[in-house]
Amino acid sequence: MIILEGKNIGKRYRRREFSVDALSDVSFTLNEGEILGIVGESGSGKSTLLRQIAGLEIPDAGELLLDGRPLPAKRTKENYRTIQMIFQDAVGSFHPRRRISDSIRETVRNLVGAGEEPDWKTLCSLVQLPLELAERYPRDLSGGQCQRFAIARAMAVHPRILLCDEITSALDVSSQAQILRLLAQLHQEKNMSVIFVSHDLAVVRSICDRVMVMRNGKVVEEGPAARIIHAPREDYTKQLIASVLEVRDTRAG
Amino acid sequence: MNETPLLTVSGLSAGYGAGRMIADVSFSLCPGEILCLVGESGCGKSTVLKSVMGTTPGLEILSGEIVLNGQDLLRLPPRERRRIACDTFGMVFQSPGAAFNPIRSYRKQFAETLKSHGKYDRETFETRVAEAFEKMGLADVPRILSCCPYEMSGGMNQRIALALALLLEQDILLADEPTSALDATIQRQVAEELRRLRDVSGMAQIIVTHNLALAQFLADRVGVMYAGRLVELGTPDQVLGDPRHPYSRALIAAIPTLRGDMPRGLAGQPPLSGPADAGCEFCERCPVRENGCTERPYALSSAGGGHWTACDRTGGGI
């Protein structure tokens, strides 16, 4: 079942006489319980698209449908609660002078209810971090730990859609693997729908069901992850795949 | 390689204030060789680079030797050491803009840098820059020179920084995560450019990265660091193709591949306290640890053919 649909979305950034079409005529669907990957180079419009979906910006053209109903330009709290976004800079996405727990509590009180208290035990076990780490400041945590708390903050308001914008790009391989496993587990246990933006094709291949390739604000190609990676149709997708550096396993030949 | 090493680091320990960040780090670098140091964040890779460079305030070398062309840099007076370091080492940073002033033209900055190294000549400046740019595959020299760094993309800035390194004719390039701020296609370009830099100028390089695929692509030798110690050292085929140390194996298992397997995570974090006095630092996270692991002193042993490892326990599913 389609949970989110974008129809002919356009976004233009203007600056005096200069303007850029960051998105033009982008259409997509996201099914319930699906992980949709969006890949492309810097400047291809991946993050811009996520910002439109999250309601951080208003698209110039087209419409976004949640459960078949248009999302209003001015989002309600319920809209924000339903669609949660996680950013690349995990440490920077928390208030530097507040404890992690205060930041998460604020989100919950804003979006769920004034007197609400996050369910700390469930949240921390969900992201596999000890409870006491939530009492620290962002600077006292590693990038990977902060990113797991950012996921916890998003999950604390029980969203239906998670938007992930390069959430593992700033992390080293082991933290990245932990975050990917966590996301796969959330997706499995909670039937979460996820849009996962990354420039790393191998990361996208490892967790996404379907992949959309973007270039210069347009959709180049879209299809099941295995098909896109192993039998790309468009030249641009082939180029992207050819540029991936991989570790060869010489033992396996 | 049987050549005389250009740089030999032996038994290097260093840290900030009282804390030791790296311990007993030893390696050598031959002319034209590319050494990649890999490992998780906080394993001391950058500290090794900064210790070699020797210009980071607050970083104290506690013991060891850094021998460059037969001369121990640590025995020199600070001024002399700085002079030699600046003549010998070029640096490239993670943030592509960090090497330049964002609002000053490349022409001015190139001229300034060459002047401060005593290598500026007004007559030949433009032709030399053009030559260096051409070698690095950059076209349209006058336009680039008249631009400011803020007008260029991250990848372009990084390539221009490499062209500058080429112009300065230094012997060794020290690069700290030179590609990790760039996206995949640009990463590949910059990686190719680093290789080209070595091929055209014979510049040896020490590259710090957490990207093992980059290390495989570039390196003549790879060193894996954990908690401030070098735990495995060898050619990319040895270290990444036939890894011996449980930590190297775990790191490799954590890389996602285009085959689509879910990468295997490595639970926990490297210890922030730096290297321990006794015992293997990795044993808390190690799937194949034994009782003796907490006491065993650190030592690299040969696995044959220039492949060194601090541990070769196998099993445990990695």
Contact call for A176 and B266, based on CB within 8 A: no
Nearest CA in chain B to A129: B268
Per-residue pLDDT reduced to its tens digit, A55-87: 999 999 999 999 999 999 899 999 999 999 999
Q: What is the pLDDT, as a whole number, of residue B101? A: 92
The DSSP bridge partners found for residue B67 are B8, B72
Q: What are the chain A neighbours of B237 within 8 Å (beta carbons)?
A: 250
Interface contact B227, partner A, CB < 8 A: no
Interface contact B183, partner A, CB < 8 A: yes
Nearest to A204 by CA among A92, A48, A26, A39: A39
Nearest to B254 by CA among B318, B299, B307: B318
Q: What are the chain B neighbours of A226 within 8 Å (beta carbons)?
A: 260
The answer to whether residues A141 and A100 touch, using CB atoms and an 8 Å cutoff, is yes
pLDDT in tens, chain B (318 residues): 457 899 999 999 999 887 889 999 999 999 999 999 999 888 889 899 999 998 888 899 999 999 999 999 999 998 999 999 989 999 888 777 778 999 999 999 999 999 998 889 999 999 999 988 888 778 888 888 999 998 888 778 888 888 888 888 899 999 998 887 777 778 888 899 899 889 988 999 999 998 899 999 999 999 999 999 999 999 999 999 999 999 999 999 999 888 888 888 787 778 877 888 888 999 888 888 888 888 888 999 999 899 999 998 876 555
The CA-to-CA distance between both ends of chain A, in Å, stands at 43
Question: Which ranges of B168-292 does DSSP label H, i.e. alpha helix?
Answer: 184-201, 212-218, 236, 246-253
Contact call for A177 and B263, based on CB within 8 A: yes
Q: Which two tokens stand for residue B243?
A: 């890894």
Residue B263, min C-alpha distance to chain A (Å): 6
The answer to whether residues B254 and B263 touch, using CB atoms and an 8 Å cutoff, is yes
Contact call for A181 and B269, based on CB within 8 A: no
Residue A208: CB atoms within 10 A of its CB come to 26
Contact call for A245 and B259, based on CB within 8 A: no
% chain A with pLDDT above 90: 68
C-alpha A235/C-alpha A220 separation (Å) is 10
Q: What is the pLDDT, as a whole number, of residue A98? A: 95
Most confident listed range (A15-19, A219-223, B45-49): A219-223
Contact call for A199 and B184, based on CB within 8 A: yes
Instruction: Give me the residues of A, 185-214, that contact B with CB < 8 A.
Output: 199-203, 205-207
DSSP state of A25: E
pLDDT reading at A27 higher than 90: yes
Interface contact A136, partner B, CB < 8 A: no
Q: What are the chain B neighbours of A47 within 8 Å (beta carbons)?
A: none
- Of A207, A240, A249, nearest to B241 by CB-CB distance is A249
% chain A with pLDDT above 70: 98
CA distances from A96 to A139, A150, B188 (A): 7, 13, 34
Q: What are the chain B neighbours of A201 within 8 Å (beta carbons)?
A: 184, 258
Helix axes B184-201, A235-242, angle to 10 degrees: 50
Instruction: Give me the residues of A, 83-102, that contact B with CB < 8 A.
Output: none
Contact call for A175 and B264, based on CB within 8 A: no
- Residue ranges and CATH numbers for the domains of chain B are 7-309 (3.40.50.300)
For the entire predicted model, the pTM comes to 0.86
Residue A204, min C-alpha distance to chain B (Å): 8
CA A7, A110, A53: angle at the middle one, nearest 5? 15
Q: What is the pLDDT, as a whole number, of residue A253? A: 36
Looking at this protein, which amino acid is placed at residue B282?
Answer: F
